[in-house]
Amino acid sequence: MCRTRKATGVLVSRAAWRAVVRRDRHYDGQFVYAAVTTFIYCRPSCPARTPQRRNTLLFRTARDAERQGYVACLRCHPQSSFTPAEHRILAALHYIDAHLDRVITLKTLSHVSGLSPHHFRETFKKFVGLSPKSFCDARRISGFKNLVRAGEPVSSACYEVGFGSSRSLYEKARLGLGMTPAAYQRGGRGVHVRFVICASPSGPVLIARTRLGVCAVLFGRNDRVLVEGLRKEFPNASVERQSPVKWKAAAISGLDEDPLVLKLPMSLRQRVMQAKLINILN
């Protein structure tokens, strides 16, 4: 049994202890645990050696632990909203969005994050659900679409979002366009678009695709707003709503979010989910 002090707000439960043993990141922010032998407190996902249960106290917040004289762990920084590893991936996500017009290499992102290339790639994939390259490609296609809808010619838009050539753009067209760049510029004329609307942790999401692949992932307040957004993006396409049952299994895996993603600002969180769905459903 864990030692308890009811007056200090210590939280003891089997579920909490299992989270500590498993280093479950989904419980970060729900409580912290402290070792009475070292007077150090940690977040549930801390990679440090787990103390024996009889020497462990669980507190609701970092502040509660500090009021009792415990000191924050220097490995997991439990007093912060993000873990050190999450901060590194967050820096890479912001860098990618701010530098889509440049060549973004694994070496560059490794430098930005402060991790080795291999460690960064594996950590990024674990947290985001995609490889850095797949995420970059999805974000470039999204940027390309924004420019074309704003009236930018296909030839110049592809360079402005970091595609080194029109050939590179056409090779990636299946990833989020679902049609040729020229067809997208024409508002989807002659293209049949099928879509579904699903519930997600970030709100309703519309997923649309053609016979060539996913052409849109949209977020909005309700079904009406989402459908209006789709028709605005593809004013010249034929549009058909379908039951989400056919896409349910794949969509569910794309809608699953890592604890890091759940803590991101909503706009960035939706961009991550958009990139995941595009890759999973294509």
271 shares a domain with 146: yes
**DSSP-based three-state secondary structure for 111:** helix
Name the percent of the chain lying above pLDDT 70: 91
- Is 79 inside a domain boundary? no
Q: Answer whether residue 209 is part of any domain.
A: yes
The mean pLDDT of 33-54, rounded to a whole number, is: 92
Domain with residue 23: its CATH number is 3.40.10.10
How many structural domains is the chain composed of?
A: 2
pLDDT tens-digit readout, 101-133 = 888 999 999 999 999 999 999 999 999 999 999
Give residue 13's pLDDT band: very low, low, confident or very high (50, 70, 90).
confident
Grade residue 241 by pLDDT with cuts at 50, 70 and 90. Answer: very high
Residue 80 lies in a domain: no
- Does 190 share its domain with 129? yes
Helix 117-128 × helix 106-113 angle, to 10°? 80
pLDDT of residue 252: 64
Q: Is the pLDDT of residue 1 over 50?
A: no
| Residue 22 CB partners (closer than 8 Å, separation 6+) | none
104, 194: one domain: yes
Same domain, 100 and 34: no
Structural domain of residue 64, as residue ranges?
6-72
Same domain, 67 and 145: no
Report the C-alpha gap between 164 and 169 in whole angstroms: 8
Q: Which two tokens stand for residue 163?
A: 């595609």
1 found inside a domain: no
Lowest mean pLDDT among 122-131, 197-206, 215-224: 197-206
**CA neighbours within 13 Å on the CB side: how many for 90?**
16
Residues 163 and 255 in one domain: yes
Instruction: With a cut of 80, say whether residue 161 has pLDDT above it.
Output: yes
pLDDT of residue 31: 93
User: Measured between alpha carbons, how far is residue 183 from residues 65, 169, 237 in Å?
Assistant: 59, 13, 10
pLDDT (0 to 100) of residue 169: 81
- The answer to whether position 91 is within a domain reads yes
For residue 4, what pLDDT band results from cuts at 50, 70 and 90? Answer: very low
**pLDDT tier at 40, thresholds 50, 70, 90:** very high
Question: How far lies 9's CA from each of 37, 38, 165, in Å?
Answer: 19, 20, 61
Same domain assignment for residues 106 and 48: no
pLDDT on residue 280: 83
145 and 263 co-located in one domain: yes
Which has the higher per-residue pLDDT, 247 or 140?
140
